[in-house]
Amino acid sequence: MLLFQIQRFCIHDGPGIRTTFFFKGCPLRCLWCHNPESQAFQPQLLHDAEKCITCGYCERVCPNQATPQGQLQRSTCQSCGLCCEECLGDARHLAGRQYALDEALQLALRDEAFYTSSGGGITLSGGEPLAQPEAALALAKAANARGLSVVVDTCGHVPFEHFAAILPYTRLFLYDLKHPDDAEHQRLTGVGNKLILENLNKLSAAGASLSLRLPLGAGLNDRPQDLAAWLPLFKTIQPQRIHLLPYHSIGGSKAGRLGYPLFQGQPPSTPTLEHWLTTIQNAGHPVQQGG
């Protein structure tokens, strides 16, 4: 499986204390993505020019002459990671490497005692974990066999067969919803929302446990008509909880280190968030701000 991060002691990725496995690759290109290094389906080099001390070690080891005087020429960089190993200024980081199933499972089992005491387990996140369906399913099965609960954090834009396969091994799906309008969803994420909503309804009908996560950006998807469009879906799905996730700029610095264009967004205003929280709560749904 190709992962770009494994994070221990997570408390916002499902119940209890969890270890979160971040899978590389995602079918969406959300403008506000806070993990832009998750998008591509291959390893990528993040370069922080401000940390470069021009020691020259990267240039010496690069087999493609992609790092002249500490700079980075992405057109010739093959993301082999050799320069990251030699960098004295911590200016380079390789996002993405292959993990064997047993290696990943053993990392999860290090904190088995904390899962037991807190009701936690492991979370498959990304990127989109079900875009690597065989690897995600294998890890979920192996974790279940060792008594670990599994949560899947998903954007929903994968064939439903991937959900059906992993459903028996999944305690909870954290299901992202970006925009209720198909055309706006296409503009903001690069894909429409029809498959996402179809999969959500199918999962609900199959008896899956669901929590909905709504990232909200000012003027993007936080308007009164957006909230009004979501309410009938909430009534149909009856999720365990709805999480409102205000936009934050953490992905901006990483986008710059990847050579991606920067997105300048803003979180919803306090009155807007309060209106969403109150309206959803009054409609009878458990709701909270944050993970």
CATH number of the domain residue 57 falls in: 3.30.70.20
Last residue of a domain, one of 65, 95, 125: 95
Q: Are residues 52 and 157 in the same domain?
A: no
| Residue 7 in this model has a pLDDT that exceeds 80 | yes
| Average pLDDT of span 202-230 | 97
CATH of the domain at 105: 3.20.20.70
Instruction: Identify the three-state secondary structure at position 186.
Output: helix
| Average pLDDT of span 41-69 | 90
Report the domain count for the chain.
2
Q: Are residues 191 and 73 in the same domain?
A: no
Domain boundaries, position 54: 48-95
Tens digits of residue pLDDT in 91-145:
999 999 999 999 999 999 999 999 999 999 999 999 999 999 999 999 999 999 9
Q: Are residues 81 and 182 in the same domain?
A: no
Q: Are residues 63 and 205 in the same domain?
A: no
pLDDT at position 249: 79
Q: Are residues 102 and 87 in the same domain?
A: no
Pairing of strands 121-125, 149-154: parallel
- The lowest-confidence range among 30-34, 166-170, 193-197, 238-242 is 30-34
Furthest C-alpha separation in the chain: 63
Residue 289: both structure tokens together: 């701000």
Rg (CA), the chain: 20
Q: Are residues 60 and 87 in the same domain?
A: yes
Q: Are residues 56 and 185 in the same domain?
A: no
pLDDT at position 135: 98
Q: Are residues 209 and 237 in the same domain?
A: yes
pLDDT band at 27 (very low <50, low <70, confident <90, very high): very high
Q: What is the pTM of this model?
A: 0.93
Q: Are residues 76 and 174 in the same domain?
A: no
Residue 134: both structure tokens together: 């065989």
pLDDT at position 180: 98
Q: Are residues 88 and 121 in the same domain?
A: no
pLDDT band at 263 (very low <50, low <70, confident <90, very high): confident
DSSP 8-state assignment for residue 259: T
Round the average pLDDT of the chain to a whole number and report it.
95
d(CA 283, CA 281): 5
Q: Are residues 57 and 188 in the same domain?
A: no
Q: DSSP E strands: which ranges in 11-125? A: 18-23, 44-47, 92-95, 97-98, 121-125
- The lowest-confidence range among 42-46, 136-140, 277-281 is 42-46
| Residue 254 in this model has a pLDDT that exceeds 90 | no
Closest by CA to 153, choosing from 35, 31, 280, is 35
Last residue of a domain, one of 95, 112, 130: 95
Q: Are residues 25 and 67 in the same domain?
A: no
